[in-house]
Amino acid sequence: MRFKPILFVILWLAGLAGVLSFLLVDLNALMAILPIPAGTEIPAITPALKLLGLIQPTVILSLAVLVGVTLASKVGLSSPVAEAAAGGGQLSSAFKPQIIPGIVGGLAGGVAIVSTASLSRPFLPSEVITRIAELGKLLPLPTRLLYGGITEELMLRWGLMTLLVWAAWRLFQRAQNKPKTGCFVVAILISSVVFGIGHLPVAFLLLPEATFALTLYVIVANSIFGLIAGYLYWKKGLESAMLAHMLAHVVMLTASYFGAYF
């Protein structure tokens, strides 16, 4: 199947908006909450350094979008709204079937993350809880929605999950015309755990000597949402997973406001 350059550009630009949203983060304030040894000189984060920091996520985004554009249609996965935009179709018709599942998934995922945090709180050092709360205050809403809701879904679902489905199909179900349910289930599980593990570097910045409780919380909480997002991508389309991811962040912010989350 031929490459779809217009679809690639649409999705890449959407993901790039999330990457660029990190320019809104006050990195100097972020550095101030990290456990850096006393007396260590911390250089100021200049705009040039912030731009350099965007190179790695942009490269990962580009590869993920390329993988999805190349393989998604081969395994029965899709990004209905982006594909409609690329082909001149009706965006509202493409998005409408994804809205309710996305809302339900976002609410369920947000509640699951908040609930996991509540169960984990007694096992987390108070210092970590304080730093997590401070980190949350430093992440602007646009960054949460654009990077979390769009860029991460492009990387983890559109890129990684699609690749895993395709690989499992070609390795274990080569005789089948299309991948069966098992390929999708395995891909959802693996991509969800990777999604959870991918949040560990930030957690370890907050506490260099990370505890088992902190590691378990980060992986479990994010993996639970990864399962929901992966299912939505499989059954409804990529935008449904994006909507759910955005709404989950809204749920977490709301819970934080009322003191029910970090």
Q: Would you say residue 262 lies in a domain?
A: no
Mean pLDDT, the chain, whole residue set: 92
Q: What percent of the chain has pLDDT over 70?
A: 97
Q: Would you say residue 177 lies in a domain?
A: yes
pLDDT at 79 (0 to 100): 98
Q: Using alpha carbons, select from 64, 72, 16, 33 the residue that is nearest to residue 184.
A: 72
175 pLDDT tier (thresholds 50, 70, 90):
confident
Rounded distance between C-alpha atoms, residue 23 and residue 189, angstroms? 32
Rounded distance between C-alpha atoms, residue 12 and residue 151, angstroms? 9
Q: What percent of the chain has pLDDT over 90?
A: 73
Q: Looking at this protein, which amino acid is placed at residue 46? A: T
Of 103 and 4, which is predicted with more confidence? 103
Rounded distance between C-alpha atoms, residue 83 and residue 17, angstroms? 18
> Packing angle between helix 91-120 and helix 238-257, nearest 10 degrees?
40
Of 133 and 56, which is predicted with more confidence? 56
Q: What is the DSSP secondary-structure string of 157-192?
A: IIIIIHHHHHHHHHHH-TTSSS--HHHHHHHHHHHH
262 with 256: CB under 8 angstroms?
yes
pLDDT at 2 (0 to 100): 64
The domain total for the chain is 1
Burial grade of 206 (CB within 10 A; 0-12, 13-18, 19 or more): buried
pLDDT score of 50 more than 80 = yes
What global pTM score does this model have?
A: 0.94
pLDDT score of 136 more than 60 = yes
pLDDT tens-digit map of 192-240: 999 999 999 888 877 767 788 889 999 999 999 999 999 999 999 999 9
Q: How large is the average pLDDT for residues 26-31?
A: 86
pLDDT tens-digit map of 57-81: 999 999 999 999 999 999 999 999 9
94 pLDDT tier (thresholds 50, 70, 90):
very high
Q: Would you say residue 112 lies in a domain?
A: yes
Where in the sequence is the domain holding 192, given as residue range(s)?
Answer: 5-257
In Å, how far from its chain's centre is CA 99?
18
Rounded distance between C-alpha atoms, residue 12 and residue 179, angstroms? 26
